Amino acid sequence: MIIYLRVIKESFAFALNALRNNKLRTFLSLLGVTIGIFSIIAVLAAVDSLDRQIKSQLSSLDSNTMYLSNFSFGPTEVPRWKREQFDQISYNEFKYLQSSMTNVEHMAFQLFVKKESIRYEAELVSGVNTVVVSNEFEDIQTLEFESGRFYNESESNSGKPVVVIGSGIANSLFGNLDPIGKDVRLYGQKFTVIGVVKKEGSPIFGDSNDISIFLPANFVRTRYGENNPNMRNIVIIKPQPNSDPALVKADLVQLLRYKRGLKPDEIDTFFISIISGVQDLIDGIIGTMNFVGWLISGFSLLVGGFGIANIMFVSVKERTNIIGIQKSLGAKNKFILMQFLFEAIILAVVGGIIGLIFVWIATLVISQFSGDFQFVLSFWNMVIGFSLSSIIGLVAGIVPAISASKLDPVEAIRTGM
């Protein structure tokens, strides 16, 4: 055992000495591996960070939450001309479903409307994301408040001119003033601020609650009509805990088909989208991005591996005479093999570590300038990077090391002279 440890130690020392004596060659080899490892780990870290951010945003919603509308959230086989003939989900249909379905915990009515401007005295904020929903929305999508509250059922049903604003809107309109109880102008009339939503930061997709306002759906519906071509109606459904989403969806389809008087041979004139389906779609996209990233970065690693192998063959050629002398003095094949193998592995591992350091620096810089998006280099990504660099060194160095270990001492000395 001691002999083997001594052989390993001496082989390691020979490898380090060879790398120090050929600094330019070592640098070029390190560069190839560094670029390859940096490419792969940077892609993995970016995709992983994006995946975490998206799932964090979806975590406020139950994965079984359903969206009922006359348009599809994803790909559909229904042709566009046919989809355009589907009637919008009406408020009456919403109330019918709300009173008829027994396996639903909460159900909310929402109108998708264009962005609006909101004013308080001389202060004006334009392009505000306007969320027009019934009061049940708060029970489906968790909202945290800095102050105040969400509007209640009475205010929602009567379409009372009250509004809940995001923290960004509150800061822009009121500064250090308390917004609660203040009147703002929206849709040409006064709305009373009753709540301020806690700051959440910028999401990957969609608009942040920080720059959003929430107001009762019945106010907009009674004022502009629910069949307004500039608005889209949608019903958000949260099934009861532990209920079967498939059964909830089947009940929903049956009730709405009955309400609309659809015949058995007629297709559904509505779409039901489920959050879990959206998550599956996102997972598919993330998986594709990972695959493409591995494919592109793999070429960089391949180039780095060939670079190490090429330099190791050159190193064997240059040191043929020394190998012959070592073997004539009693050095065994395994000593020569480990000497060159260690040299290749050291090159690859050091290159991989440098690549990881560059990725880590990049994560700090990107996170610093990307606002609320956190670019994360996980422990497993670092393990993958270190493992890949070790494997590259092993694979790239094994053939040159074997060829060096099998050299005939006499022929090696003669060739090197």
How confident is the model over 313-330, as pLDDT tens digits? Answer: 777 776 667 767 766 766
Reply yes or no on whether the pLDDT at 412 is more than 70.
no
Overall size of the chain counted in residues: 417
Percent of all residues in the chain with a pLDDT value above 90, rounded to a whole number: 14
- 162 pLDDT band, cuts 50/70/90, is very high
Given this model, what pLDDT does residue 276 score?
59
Query: Backbone phi, then psi, for 113, in 5-degree steps?
Result: -125, 170
Reply yes or no on whether the pLDDT at 302 is more than 80.
no
The contacts of residue 259 (CB under 8 Å, 6+ apart) are 93, 96, 97
- How confident is the model over 227-238, as a mean pLDDT? 84
Please give the model's pTM, rounded to 2 decimal places.
0.62
Each residue of 21-36: pLDDT tens digit?
A: 667 767 776 777 777 7
Residues 270 and 123: their CA atoms lie apart, in Å, by: 42
**Which amino acid, one-letter code, is at 146?**
E
For 242-271, the DSSP string reads: T--HHHHHHHHHHHHHHHHT--TTSPPSSE
